[in-house]
Each structure stands twice: as structure tokens, then as C-alpha cells.
Amino acid sequence: MSANQDAARKHLKTLTDNASLDVIEERLRPKIHRSAERVPGASLTDPSVIDKRWALLPHASHGKDAIADPVTLSQHASFAANIENLIGTVKIPVGLAGPLRVNGTSAQGDFYVPLATTEAALVASYHRGACVITVVGGCSTMILNEGVSRAPAYAFHSLVEAGRFVAWCLASTDAIREAAERTTRHGRFKDMRITIEGNHVYLLLEFTTGDAAGQNMVTLATQAVCDFIAAECQIKPSYFFVEGNLSGDKKASSQSFQSVRGKKVTAEVRLPRKVVERLLHSTPEKMADYWRMSALGGVMSGTIGVQGHYANGLAALFIACGQDAACVSEAAVGVTRFEVSSEGELYAAVTLPNLIVGTVGGGTKLPSQHACLDVLGLAGAGHARAFAEVCAALALAGELSIIAAITAGHFSGAHEKRARGRKSHQENSPPA
């Protein structure tokens, strides 16, 4: 994260062109005076409380009608468990990609996939990939593994104490399981892995979470484990924390890439040469050549996994369907592979080990998000595995489309046409 001396000098000159270092220092000092009024109401969502929050924002009053619109205000109670200090909702355009045919261990059928995004060309690209997959009979998908982890961390006086603590935990695994599972009807204790670093001990607790994404579920279960250990274990730590940053929560990590966080899913499809040429305007050889070059590029840049743009489709799908959007940081990790078969077909596969998704709980019960899950036919209990397979199939569709566009020389032109070009056309068109 260092800067070389020339860059540092240039940056310093930029900072001091309009102000001296003394002036800059004064601007950066803490300002101890009475602050503006605090936002009132916390989790209250009544329109009268929302009005009080907007009263703090006179400079933004022109935006109130767009954010605190009548539909949002009429549904205010449905947001109470999902947000604090509510002032309204932000409307993101939702487009459909598909049909996307999925032949999975859990997902079966043709899906129209709702994608919420402000990025022109994104839906069009995933739509094209989805339709190509469907033309050849669909992609095969399979859940490979499941598990959501939390990692409490303990500090002891010595390595000897740390070792005795680990021995106690290993002897008490059944009791730890019981303590965890008392907190949930749907979660199940799956495994406990031990990491010792000097006099520190990390317990990586792994759970299955049913149809919920499960972060809150495993946090509560882990807290119960910590409480049980505190009450029953005679080897007392100097201190401990319910999460020691070893679980990989909301960040790309080598650990989860090699194992699982959420649901690990793979998807594959075979595209005949004629389909690649006619619908993707490329060839299997060009697409495989690009994949090999991009794989090396990813290795040299230090990426975790090798893939083109999982985050584009997953972010749009997560936002539309009420998933935790921050989990895209770990969900968009995985491996794409393209090969030319002996028959001259394009074989394409994706594997995503970190799909933290669910169809119950969290944001899935909000009105618009529940409606988007309904569009997929995957709202409510019993559909989380199928939803994860649709996520993987969508990622595969996106990889096919973007690599085809790059190898056909259409990538830049598509963005020009669908973003700048369309905007320019609309700006120059007479009003309807």
C-alpha cells in the first residue's frame, strides 16, 4: 500500500496547491461543538416518525416524494425488522433475463430471472447467455456442499492453557452441539475445526441453515456455544470474542474458496459449434483461448479463483431477491472453465463455493423482494437449494455472454450502444 516518492511528492503538491499545510491541519482537527440533532425513532417506521427524520434534511426535501412515496408509506410496517431510521425506499430498475433452463438436483425448469441494476447492458448480456443455454436444453447444476461458519476466538495466558482448552472442547463436542442447536429449529451443528496460533485458539463452528442464508442464525448459535463454554469450562481465557475474523464472513478468502460458505454449487453446459457461431458470434476455439489467457491474467493479478464477472449478475439477483448484498464480496468467488471438446463443442463450467443465499428470513420477506422470488417460483421454505442452483446457472450464462462479446469484438460496442448511445438518443428525442 506504499506510494513511491515521485507519486508522494505529486500528491503533496496537489494537496497544497490551494491551501498550506497549516490550513489543512486546521481543517482536519476535531470540531468540539454542539452537533446536529440525532436521527429519531430507531426501528419505528410510522409515517409521523419518518416525517420527523425528513425534517432534519431541509436541503433534500425535494427528494422526499421519490423516496418516501405513498406505496412505501403504506407498507411501512413490513420494513421494521430490516432497517433502522427508515426514511423510505430506493427504486432500482428490475429487468428479466431468460428463460434460463436449469436441470439441477434441486432446480428444474425454465426460469425468468429478475435482476435489479442501474448498469445498462447487464440484463441484456445475462439474457443472451440464458437464452443460449436454454436453446441447447439447459445447464446441469448440482449442490456440492453446504455450511455457514462463525469463528469465536479465545486468548489464554500460555500455549499450555490453549492446548488444555482445545482438549476440553474436543471432549465436549456433543454438549457444544446441543447448546448450539437449542437456539434454532432449522440450523444444525455440522463441524468444529480448531486453529491454534500461539496462545490464541479459534473455533471454526460450521452449521447448516435450512432455507435461510443463516448469518444471524449461526451468530446466535455461536453465542450460545460461547456462553456454554464460559459456564462449564474450567480453563478460563484472558478474553474471547464471538467472531475472530476467521470465518471469512463478507470477504473473499482462500479458506472459503477451498471449502464452503453457504452453498457450493457447480453448473455445466455444452454448446455445439453452430450455436456458438450463430448466437454468440464467436467460435469454441476463440472462447477457450480467451479463457486460458484470462486465467493466467487472474493468477498474475492475485485473484482468488478465476472468473470473469460473477459479481455483476449475483449483485443484481441478490438485490432483487432480498439477499444480503454485502455477501456478494464472498459469493462472487469461484472458477470458470472453458474447453473445446473432441467433437468441437464448447464445454463451459462454473463452480461457486460461497453462495450465501436463502428464500426465508432476512430481506426475502419484504414486499418487492418476495415478489421477485415469486417471479422465480422460489419464494418461501423449501427453495433455497434451487435458488442457489439458479445463481450458479446465471453466473454461467454471464460468463458465456461476456467472453463471447470480448472474443467477437463486441464488448465495447455493446456498452456504447446500450448505455451512451441509448442515452444520447433519448436526450435528443422529442418528448412523448
Active site residues: 119, 324, 415
Cα–Cα dist 44/53, whole Å: 11
Cβ burial, residue 400 (10 Å; 0-12/13-18/19+): buried
Q: CA–CA distance from 417 to each of 120, 121, 255 (Å)? A: 9, 9, 41
Maximum CA extent, the chain: 79
CA end-to-end span of the chain, whole Å? 52
Q: Residues 224, 205: contact at Cβ < 8 Å? A: no
All 3 cell numbers of residue 403?
467472453
Q: CA–CA distance from 380 to each of 220, 321, 325, 359 (Å)? A: 22, 11, 19, 5
Cβ burial, residue 139 (10 Å; 0-12/13-18/19+): buried
Q: Which of 127, 97, 89, 116 is nearest to 321 (CA)?
A: 116
The answer for 218, left when phi > 0, alpha when psi is -120 to 50, beta otherwise, is alpha
